[in-house]
Each structure stands twice: as C-alpha cells, then as structure tokens.
Amino acid sequence: MVRSPIRSVRHLQRYREIIHVFVHHGFGELVDTLELLPYLSLPRRILRGDKPKPTPRGVPQRLRMALEDLGPTFIKLGQVLSTRPDILPMEYILELSKLQDAVPPVAWSAIRERIDTELGCPLEEVFTDFEPAPIAAASLSQVHAATLPNGDSVVVKVQRPNIQNVIETDLEILFDVARLAQERTPLGEIYDLPGIAEEFATTLRAELNFYREGRNADRFRENFAEEEYLHIPRVYWDYTTRRLLILERIHGIKIDDVETLDATGYDRHQIALNAARMIVQEVLQDGFFHADPHPGNFVVMPGEVIGAMDFGMVGYLNQQLRTDLMRLYVVAIQLDEEGIVDQLIRIGFTRGRVNRAKLQHDVGRLLRKYHGMPLGTIRAREVIEDVMPLAFRYNLKLPADLWLLGKTLTMMEGVGLKLDPDFDIFAVSRPYVRRFVWQLALPGVWGPPLIKGINNWTDLLANLPRVGSQALSRIERGEMEIKIQHKGLSKALDRLDQTANRLSLSILLAALIVGLALLIPTFNLAEQWGLATIVVITGFAGVSLLGLWLVFSIWRSGR
C-alpha cells in the first residue's frame, strides 16, 4: 500500500489551490513529477486543461508570479530564496528579488479587535489618540500611529488576524513538497530540501514573534549606545506582546529622497558615511546586522542622524565566521587564487567532491578582472553578482546569514551611491579591518581554542591505551563489526522490489491467460455448460481483466 505524502486532510483545499496556481503558470510538469494528483483526487487532465496563455515570459518570471498569487508564505519563501545563489541560478535570484511584501490593509474592525485582545482592554484605555488608517501594510502585519497618555508618539505594529494559521498550513504543505522533491527530483541528490524548508520555517516563525523583534531593537540600541549618528527607537515593553509591538515613532526624511535632503540642507556625503559606518560596525565588530536595509526602513533626522526601523529580519556572524571571512578577504586582496580555494575548503564551504583545478581556474579569472583596480572603484554589487554563479556551479555551501549579508551590503551600497557618487565602503572599513586583524593576535582570541585543543589532546592520549587495548581484544575475539551504510540504497531496493513484483505478476497473468485460452476449445460450448466450463470461462475473463488493469496501471504511472 502506498502511503500518502499528505499529512493532513484539512489541507486538501489549500493543496488544490497551490496546484492550480502552479499549473496555470506553466509548471504542470513539476506537479506531475511529484505525483500529487492521485492523493488529491484530481484528474490528470488538470495538467492539460489550465495552460497559461502564450507569453514571452521565462520560467523565472512565471515562478515569481506564481509565488505572488499564493500569498504571504510563498512571497516570503521567494524573498529568502533570492538570497540563496547556492540553490538557484542568477536569473532566478534577480527575478525573485523583485517580490514586494505590500498588500491591502485589513479592515479596521478586525484590526481593532486584535489590538483589544492583545492589550486585554479597549485601546482607548492605553492610547489617547489612535489612527485607524495604517501608515504601512505588509503580508504579516500592519502599522498604525498612536499617542500615549504621557504624550509620546508611537507606532503600533499589529499582526494580521488568522495569519498564524495561514502560515502554519502553508509550512506543513512545504514540508510535504520538500520531502517529495527530495525523493523524486534530481535536486534531492544535491540539496537537503527538507532541511531548507525547516530553516525557512524557523525564519518565518521568528518574524511572527514580536517579542523577538523588540529584543533585536534593544540589542541594536546597546551596540550603538556610544554612537550619535544612529537612532534606534525605544520599545514600550509594558504594552508589547507576541502579536503587538509598540515602538517610539521617529520622524525624518526617507534616506534616498535626495531632492528633499538637498532642499533641507543635509550633507549627503556625511549621511552616506554614517550609513557605511553602521553596516561595517554591525558586520566586523558586533556580528549582528540589520538584514532588511531597504530605503523605507531608514530616515534622516537633524544632524545627519540616521533613524532605523523594522528589526524583524536580522543576521548573525559568529566570531569564527568573521575570522574566516577576514582570512578570505586577505588572500583575495593578495590575488592568491590557490589560497582562496584552500580557505574555502578549510572553512567547509565546498560540498562533496569538487573539481579543485577548475574552481581555482575560475577564481583566478575572477581575480584578474579586478587586478589593478583601486578599491574605491570596486562595487560590492558587482563582486557579489560575479561570485553567485560560482557558488551555484560548484555547489558551495555558504551559511544563509552570509548570503543575507551579501544582499545587505548590496542594498546599503546602492543607498550610499545615490547619496554620494564617490561612496567607498572599503575606505570606511579599513580601520575596522585593521582593528579586527590586531584582535586576532590577542591571547583572548587564540587562547581559548588553543587551551580547548590541548585539553582534547590530553583526553585522547590518556584514553588511547585503554581504548586501544579494548579494540584489539574485540578484534582478537572476532567481536568487531564494520557496518557500511549506503545512502539511497533502500529507495533503489524498494523500486527494484516493486519492479520484480510487477514482472512476476505479469508473467503469472500471461501464463493463466494462455493456459485457460488453450483449455476453452476442449469444451463443447454448444452443449449445456457444466461446472468445469463455467469455472474455465469465468477464470479466463477474470485474468483478462486483471491483465488489462495491469496494463492500465503501468500506463498511468508513466513507467
């Protein structure tokens, strides 16, 4: 009996919606490959009956449109995939980067009910003024302006009603599809698709927890407590819940509104410098960065102070990863292509067997492109776009936060260049790089790993005689066993077993049909039929029907 990959009957309607959308956008072959139709009681003609109209759009554009039609979970999935060039080719990355998370606002009555529920009282008891019309609306939440009794102007970020159930349903479906794709598509041989789905689910669920976003804001404020050029809004924890976030409202000019900045008399060069200092400190010093730095999340306040907003998406770089990146940066500056490949392998960015000579050749060709160019003329966007195809071609497994960092640097560089055409993020980073390199030489950095290594060697040497003696004794007594696990072998054996069963059944049915067919002429059908005649005729008809059923099942499976 074949086990259905669909875990919950209550999601069948959503499954059907998703299949219709993908088929409509020309992905019927993918649906057919995953073999979902039999489990959803859908006819195979659906793959032919809902074809999209002829269009010059390519596959990446049709994929983006399908994700947009499927709503918040799939829009977020596309946005996350747009930061993963190790999974998708460059043309898909560029197209999915266009996904916008802007939707019509929820009716005020539903939002009002959600706010009252979260506060535990009517909102009039907490706010002296509240704007029903939202100042921003996204797929997971929307934002309203309000005023507290003490006169503080705040923004109220409230989660959309029922969005949690919608997200969880879609995540369950994504897990099912990821498992099927792992088993039935070539991608499963290269990537851990259920693992990618799990990672995405963790990220999305974190965005639904406004306590976490509030803690992110507090952490940024602590990290930049000594810096006057950045303002992080205060969190009003007395009123904040998992689904309701109350923040200080900050006023300013949108950071990429160059005309208004010039009319107000702001120094655009200083603003660009402050933006660069912010991202460099986040990456090299704190290891904690704002991962959604589009212009709508930053405003310019008096004194060229940058005000930051929306802390739902952040990235993390631990000390070891920052150290590895710095070493990679050093060998890249030295144009040492062999050193770059060595560093990639040492860090563990390469998966499985990699053609080292070919990778080194492509890295060398990339380095020669930038040879002799002043750092100030090199653009982070161009470098990242050159690296992305290499990551996909050689299946380099870079941490998700690293790709998120690449997208962050690209967006911040775009803002900086719009503010100041001479913007040079490398010049801003030099003192931080120097400080980081000096820190690597301090005992506080290399001492703990060294002590840990010494302790591990001490334990190994102390246990080696005892463990070695036990191993030799077991070998001598014939008790030592070596187990070899073949990945994917059970799947191949199952298919082989199914094929053998089908072949055996085919031979048996053929023998029965031929045997019974030979027996029929021995009976005189013109006379009254006896029991033997009825048994033979009935048997012949039965096995013939079974044979037709077998032929139909083979044709339907496509094998």
- Per-residue model confidence as pLDDT tens digits over 443-454: 655 556 656 556
Q: Give the pLDDT confidence score for residue 527 in this predicted structure.
A: 57
The answer to whether residue 376 scores a pLDDT higher than 70 is no
The answer to whether residue 198 scores a pLDDT higher than 60 is yes
Percentage with pLDDT > 90 across the chain? 27
Reported as a single tens digit per residue, the pLDDT across 516-534 is 666 666 655 555 566 666 7
538-557: average pLDDT: 71
This prediction has a pTM of 0.70
- Our measurement of the distance from residue 422's CA atom to the centroid of its chain's CA atoms, rounded to an integer in Å, reads 34
Per annotation, catalytic residue among 86, 176, 292, 324:
292
Q: Give the pLDDT confidence score for residue 43 in this predicted structure.
A: 57
Q: Is 292 tagged catalytic?
A: yes
By the 8 A CB rule, do 250 and 279 touch?
no
Q: Could you count the other beta carbons within 10 Å of the beta carbon of residue 260?
A: 11
Reported as a single tens digit per residue, the pLDDT across 321-353 is 888 877 777 777 777 888 888 877 777 666 667
Check residues 558 and 213 and name the one with the higher pLDDT. Answer: 213
Reported as a single tens digit per residue, the pLDDT across 462-520 is 777 777 777 777 777 666 666 666 655 666 666 776 777 777 777 776 776 666 666 66
By the 8 A CB rule, do 24 and 67 touch?
no
The residue with tokens 């500056």 is 333
User: Among 80-84, 91-95, 108-112, 373-377, where is mean pLDDT lowest?
Assistant: 373-377
Supply the angle between the helices 531-557 and 489-519 in degrees, to the nearest 10.
Answer: 150
Q: Highest-confidence range of 46-50, 125-129, 291-295, by mean pLDDT?
A: 125-129
Longest dimension (CA), the chain: 113
pLDDT band at 237 (very low <50, low <70, confident <90, very high): very high
Q: Give the pLDDT confidence score for residue 157 in this predicted structure.
A: 96
- Of 311, 309, 328, 314, nearest in space to 283 by CA: 314
472 half-sphere exposure, CB direction, 13 A CA radius: 6
- Of 55, 38, 59, 56, nearest in space to 47 by CA: 38
Q: Give the pLDDT confidence score for residue 469 in this predicted structure.
A: 72
Q: What angle do CA 302, 230, 318 make, to 5 degrees?
A: 170
257-275: average pLDDT: 92
Domain boundaries of the chain, sorted by first residue: 9-101+170-199, 107-160+209-249, 256-441, 446-473, 501-557
- Of 7, 191, 33, 103, nearest in space to 559 by CA: 33
Assign domain 107-160+209-249 to its CATH architecture: 2-Layer Sandwich (3.30)
What 154-157 contacts at long range (C-beta under 8 Å, 24+ apart), as own/partner pairs, is 154/236, 154/246, 154/247, 154/248, 154/249, 155/233, 155/246, 155/247, 155/248, 155/249, 156/115, 156/127, 156/130, 156/244, 156/245, 156/246, 157/210, 157/213, 157/244, 157/245, 157/246, 157/247
256-270: average pLDDT: 92
397-406: average pLDDT: 77
Q: Give the pLDDT confidence score for residue 325 in this predicted structure.
A: 79
The answer to whether residue 433 scores a pLDDT higher than 60 is yes
